[in-house]
Amino acid sequence: MRLLNQIVAVTVLNLRNLPKRLGSSLVAILGVAAVVVVFAAVLSMANGFERTLLSAGSDDTAIIMRSGATSELSSGVSAQQVQIIETSPGVLRDGDTALVSAELYVVVDVKKKATNEDANVPFRGVELGAFDVRRNIDIVQGRVFEPGKNEFVVGRAAQQEFVGLDVGETIRFGQTEWTVVGVFEAGGSVAESELWTDVRVLQAAYRRGNSYQSVRVRLESEESLAILEQTLADDPRINVDVVSERAYYASQAEQTTGLIRGLGYPLMILMSIGAVFGALNSMYSSISVRGKEIATLRAIGFGPFAVLVSTVVESTLLALIGGLIGAAAAFIAFNGFQASTLGASFSQVVFDFAVTPDLLMQGLQAALVIGVVGGLFPAIRAARLPVAQALREL
Amino acid sequence: MKYLGLIWHSVWRKKIRTSLTILSVFVAFLLFALLSAVGFAFRGGEDVADAERLIVLEKVSIINPLPSSYQARIQAVPGVEAVTHANWFGGYYQEPRNSQFAQFPVRPYEYFTLYPELQMPEEQLRAWANNREGAVVGSQMAEALGWEVGDRIPITATIFPKTDGSMTWEFDIEGIFASDDPRGVTNFMLFDYEYFDEARAHSRGQVGWYILRVEDGADPVAIANAIDRQFENSPAETDTSTEAAFAASFAAQFGNIALIVSLILGAVFFTLLLVSGNTMSQSVRERISELAVLKTVGFEDSTVLGIVLSESVLIMLLGGLLGLGTGWLLIQSGGLLPGLYLPASTILLALAFMIGAGVLAGLFPALKAMRLSIIDALAVRA
């Protein structure tokens, strides 16, 4: 109990002294804040990208592509194969019509607002049924394209990110002029990075005959995936891969998020080491400034352990303050920040940075570790300070 | 220079503090080196692209093919020295994740004429041209996958099935090429277009893009315009740009990576400046009486200023060079990510940063030291 009293007394004394050592304390605080900001910024990019792709995937929707194709862009499916898929078991039916959407996926050059450079924007040809196969598509401005016309609707994210995609504007791809007639939202998913038009119009514009690249299917249930897969595998007329939409988008997200995380975590470790040096430095100088004070405390009967604990508490507190400042700054500056990059389908994915609570907690944990490590060694030295010698320096 | 001994001693006056400061500078410049190399890789090697080489793409999108009949018409444009074409094959070896190694069907002799920086023994080029199912691979790719000349390897296609419906294409490795530029990327494989075009089930007679070199002294922009005009209003219009411009615009597609890298570097340098500035002002504070003695025995104000500034720059250089050197070693060893490269401009920039940050961090303490009034300073018993 006496020890606890001592610890509290020394720590309080220590903290009340802090304003006098503002300069070096600020260095420690800002060093830790910088670590947390950078960490949260980089990792929020990976989180946001992943969230955008994963939120597009549901387990009871399947994507069917030519066997071996790794993305819609490299796939090809004939009209005859689409018919086979439409009549297969496992496909959800609304009355007589199967909830199936055969789609064409091409890429067009549109300038990015941020760089004013051409970017590969995905241009998807769909049948009107596509709006039923995917559940979360809402037209929020204008209207749906009319089949047979050179019109398209644009995803909310694409409309914000790229030049010239407001409703009513016309845009030329090659020899065809297109009119933007509407904007749609898709729950923040990757579909919002796309332009959608009537698949037949797109087939004609791109001389694709009557061929498609992927078929999206609403399944009767999650378990129907295996049934559909088996049926199509047994059919000699068709050679396709069937994957759930969730699995497809997860594999699309993998490479980019892996790259960002592979960069982000080593970065955090390196910067943390730098911040530990900063914290060590300011704690050592704090002790050298307080040498006489500590010696006096020891001389009047305070134990070395109390001195040790008070120093560690001081540095941990400074690091936590830094961590909180960093977390707040990262959240304010980066959460919701919109960016776009080239995804696995060789086309742009527009996403928002997501500074999640989970990320902030990880950042604060790092701050805590920096604080404890940065305080421990100076604390040991403070505790071992030879009292007589330190007092003589007075 | 004659004060070097004095400066060196002052720097090491407090060994722990100086070591810690040097270590944080070390970390900062290690990060600088690594991030710059990553940033450079993201820019897609636009710096190594050849300005004399033009790339002809389909105008609407890079994914749309061009007819192979364009070759003769491009060759006929005045000022065009040589032209060839390539396709994107988009296959992978064993696992889809090996798809970072690209494959291109090309015309062997023409391709190597247009890319003189690719080095391969003459007999390997001949052997490849004589074997329909032959392929040559870049040294980076061969190394990563453990391939040697003489191996027969299967590549799984994702876009192009063969006429028999099979997705597996087998190739004999006839040669391994390297780039004479250390920054050059050779993680790709080339195989014969003739064979590819005969064996593929669809899109025959279509190529992905054309590559051409202009004659010495010819104007690349005028030639690019002449080519594009020739195909205007045809079903496949073209967009011709220099290889460098193409690489730059392609790299821009990755978007805000460069911004994020500079943001991180900014945060790192800010912290660095704080840490070393703090060290310097503490060091000056502790030595007030010492500096006053120096001035008493006749040191000029400017000399005192110079000494304190030099200390700060020296600390930066010690930590910075160590960090930069370690970063360079890590990048050269290829242990982190293969194919990274540290451009000379980054090294110069880092040196400038070290000196700049050293001066900035030392400036206020040095000015304080310079303006020190001897009487006041000697009166203080620090």
- Cα B40 to Cα A25, A187, B345: the distances in Å are 36, 35, 11
- DSSP letter string over A224-249? HHHHHHHHHHH-TT--EEEEEHHHHH
Strands A176-185 and A151-155: parallel
pLDDT of residue B382: 45
Please give the mean pLDDT across all residues of chain A: 89
Is B113 in the A-facing interface, judged by CB distances under 8 Å?
no
Tally of residues, chain B:
382
Nearest to B271 among A34, A109, A173 (CB): A34
Residues of B in contact with A268 (CB under 8 A): none
At A364-391, the pLDDT tens digits run 999 999 999 999 999 998 888 888 887 8
Asked whether residue B381 carries a pLDDT value surpassing 60, the answer given is no
pLDDT band at A393 (very low <50, low <70, confident <90, very high): low
Which of A21, A37, A18 lies closest to A322, judged by CA?
Answer: A37
Asked whether residue A362 carries a pLDDT value surpassing 50, the answer given is yes
Whether A274 and B268 lie within 8 Å, measured CB to CB:
yes
pLDDT of residue A200: 94
At B244-292, the pLDDT tens digits run 778 777 777 776 666 677 777 787 777 777 777 777 777 877 787 788 8
Asked whether residue B212 carries a pLDDT value surpassing 80, the answer given is yes
pLDDT of residue B45: 55
3-state secondary structure of A319: helix
**Residue B58 backbone dihedrals phi, psi, to 5 degrees:** -70, 140
Total beta-carbon pairs less than 8 A apart between chain A and chain B: 152
Whether A341 and B90 lie within 8 Å, measured CB to CB:
no
Interface of A with B in 326-365 (CB under 8 A): 339-342, 346, 348
Nearest chain B residue to A34 by CA distance is: B267
Higher pLDDT, A7 or B259: A7
Nearest chain B residue to A71 by CA distance is: B158
Other residues' Cβ atoms within 10 Å of the Cβ of residue B283: 23
3-state secondary structure of A155: strand
pLDDT of residue B100: 66
pLDDT band at A121 (very low <50, low <70, confident <90, very high): very high
Nearest-neighbour CA in chain B from A2: distance (Å): 34
Nearest-neighbour CA in chain A from B276: distance (Å): 9
**A134 with A57: CB under 8 angstroms?**
no
Nearest-neighbour CA in chain A from B273: distance (Å): 9
Nearest chain B residue to A374 by CA distance is: B20
**Residue B362 backbone dihedrals phi, psi, to 5 degrees:** -90, -10
At A208-240, the pLDDT tens digits run 888 899 999 999 998 999 999 999 999 988 889
- DSSP letter string over A193-225? G-EEEEHHHHHHHTT-TTEESEEEEEBSSTTHH
Element (H, E) at A56: none
Interface of A with B in 253-292 (CB under 8 A): 255, 263, 267, 270-271, 273-275, 277-278, 280-282, 284-285
Interface of B with A in 26-55 (CB under 8 A): 27-28, 30-31, 35, 38
Q: Is the dihedral of CA B57, B61, B63, B65 positive or negative?
A: negative
Phi-psi region of B57 (alpha: psi -120 to 50; beta: other; left: phi over 0): beta
pLDDT band at B152 (very low <50, low <70, confident <90, very high): very high
Asked whether residue B351 carries a pLDDT value surpassing 70, the answer given is yes
H-state helical runs in chain A: 2-17, 22-54, 79-86, 130-133, 156-161, 199-205, 224-234, 245-289, 291-299, 304-334, 357-384, 387-392
Burial state string for B231-247 with b = 16 or more CB within 10 A and e = fewer than 16 = beeeebbbbbbbbbbbb
Q: Which residues pair with A111 in a beta bridge?
A: A118
The CA R_g of chain A, rounded to the nearest whole Å, is 30
Mapping DSSP onto H, E and C, the string for chain B reads CCCHHHHHHHHCCCHHHHHHHHHHHHHHHHHHHHHHHHHHHHCCCHHHCCCCEEEEEECCCCCCCEECCHHHHHHCCCCEEEEEEECCCCCECCCHHHHHCEEEEECHHHHHHHCCCEECCHHHHHHHHHCCCEEEEEHHHHHHHCCCCCCEEEEECCCCCECCCCCEEEEEEEEEEEECCCCCCCCEEEEEHHHHHHHECCCCCEECEEEEEECCCCCHHHHHHHHHHHCCCCCCCEEEEEHHHHHHHHHHCCCCHHHHHHHHHHHHHHHHHHHHHHHHHHHHHHCHHHHHHHHHCCCCHHHHHHHHHHHHHHHHHHHHHHHHHHHHHHHHHCCCCCCCCCCHHHHHHHHHHHHHHHHHHHHHHHHHHHCCCHHHHHHCCC
pLDDT of residue B172: 95
Query: Please, what is the Cα angle at B286 between B303 and B353, to 5 degrees?
Result: 60
Q: Find the mean pLDDT for residues B145-157.
A: 92
Interface test with A, best of B15, B21, B24 (most A CBs within 10 A): B24
Nearest to A108 among B60, B90, B260 (CB): B60
Interface test with B, best of A29, A47, A66, A115 (most B CBs within 10 A): A115
Whether A175 and B237 lie within 8 Å, measured CB to CB:
yes
Nearest-neighbour CA in chain B from A67: distance (Å): 8
Nearest chain B residue to A393 by CA distance is: B382
Whether A68 and B274 lie within 8 Å, measured CB to CB:
no
Interface test with B, best of A271, A355, A392 (most B CBs within 10 A): A271
Whether A277 and B63 lie within 8 Å, measured CB to CB:
no
**B128 with B176: CB under 8 angstroms?**
no
What are the structure tokens assigned to A320, written together?
């936590």
3-state secondary structure of A170: strand
Distance of CA A109 to the CA centre of its chain: 25
- What residue ranges do the domains of chain B occupy? 4-44+256-379, 46-252
Residues of A in contact with B62 (CB under 8 A): 107, 109, 120
Is B268 in the A-facing interface, judged by CB distances under 8 Å?
yes
Whether A112 and B252 lie within 8 Å, measured CB to CB:
yes
**B176 with B153: CB under 8 angstroms?**
no
Other residues' Cβ atoms within 10 Å of the Cβ of residue A392: 10
What are the structure tokens assigned to A353, written together?
């940075």
Nearest chain A residue to B155 by CA distance is: A68
Nearest-neighbour CA in chain A from B17: distance (Å): 6
Q: Find the mean pLDDT for residues B154-161.
A: 88
Whether A120 and B253 lie within 8 Å, measured CB to CB:
yes
pLDDT of residue B377: 76
At A60-104, the pLDDT tens digits run 999 999 887 888 888 889 999 999 999 999 999 988 889 999 999
Residues of A in contact with B28 (CB under 8 A): 274
Interface test with A, best of B100, B253, B315 (most A CBs within 10 A): B253
Nearest-neighbour CA in chain A from B127: distance (Å): 31
**How large a percentage of chain A has pLDDT more than 90?**
45
When mean pLDDT is compared across A74-83, A241-250, B131-140, B331-340, the lowest value belongs to B331-340
Indicate the pTM of the whole model: 0.82
Nearest-neighbour CA in chain B from A95: distance (Å): 36
What residue type is A390 in one-letter code?
Answer: A
Asked whether residue A294 carries a pLDDT value surpassing 90, the answer given is no
Angle, helices A291-299/A245-289, rounded to nearest 10 degrees:
70
Q: What is the largest CA-CA distance in chain A?
A: 97
Residues of B in contact with A24 (CB under 8 A): 278, 282
Interface of A with B in 108-147 (CB under 8 A): 108-109, 112, 114-115, 117-120
pLDDT of residue B50: 66
Nearest-neighbour CA in chain A from B126: distance (Å): 32
Nearest to A263 among B38, B62, B268 (CB): B38
At A318-354, the pLDDT tens digits run 999 999 999 999 999 989 888 888 887 778 888 899 9
What residue type is A142 in one-letter code?
Answer: G
Higher pLDDT, B377 or B187: B187
- Cα B371 to Cα B281, B294, B359, B360: the distances in Å are 14, 13, 17, 17
Any idea which residue has 């109990």 for tokens? A1
- What residue ranges do the domains of chain A occupy? 2-54+252-392, 68-238
pLDDT of residue A117: 83
Whether A109 and B235 lie within 8 Å, measured CB to CB:
no
Q: Find the mean pLDDT for residues A162-166.
A: 94
Kindly indicate whether the ipTM for this predicted assembly is greater than 0.95, answering yes or no.
Answer: no
Q: Find the mean pLDDT for residues B19-33.
A: 87
Nearest-neighbour CA in chain B from A379: distance (Å): 14
pLDDT of residue B295: 86
Nearest chain A residue to B250 by CA distance is: A119
Roughly how many angstroms between the first and final C-alpha of chain B, as a whole number?
A: 29
Q: Find the mean pLDDT for residues B140-144.
A: 85
Is B302 in the A-facing interface, judged by CB distances under 8 Å?
no
At B218-245, the pLDDT tens digits run 888 889 999 999 998 888 889 998 887 7
Asked whether residue A146 carries a pLDDT value surpassing 70, the answer given is yes
Q: Find the mean pLDDT for residues A21-49.
A: 87
Asked whether residue B338 carries a pLDDT value surpassing 70, the answer given is no
pLDDT band at A164 (very low <50, low <70, confident <90, very high): very high
- DSSP letter string over A63-102? EEEETT-SSGGG--EEHHHHHHHHTSTTB-EETTEE-EEE
What are the structure tokens assigned to A245, written together?
């939409």
Which of A83, A63, A61, A60 lies closest to A71, judged by CA?
Answer: A63
Asked whether residue B36 carries a pLDDT value surpassing 70, the answer given is yes
Nearest-neighbour CA in chain A from B204: distance (Å): 14
Interface of A with B in 216-255 (CB under 8 A): 239, 255
Nearest chain A residue to B282 by CA distance is: A285
At A245-257, the pLDDT tens digits run 999 999 888 878 8
pLDDT of residue A122: 92
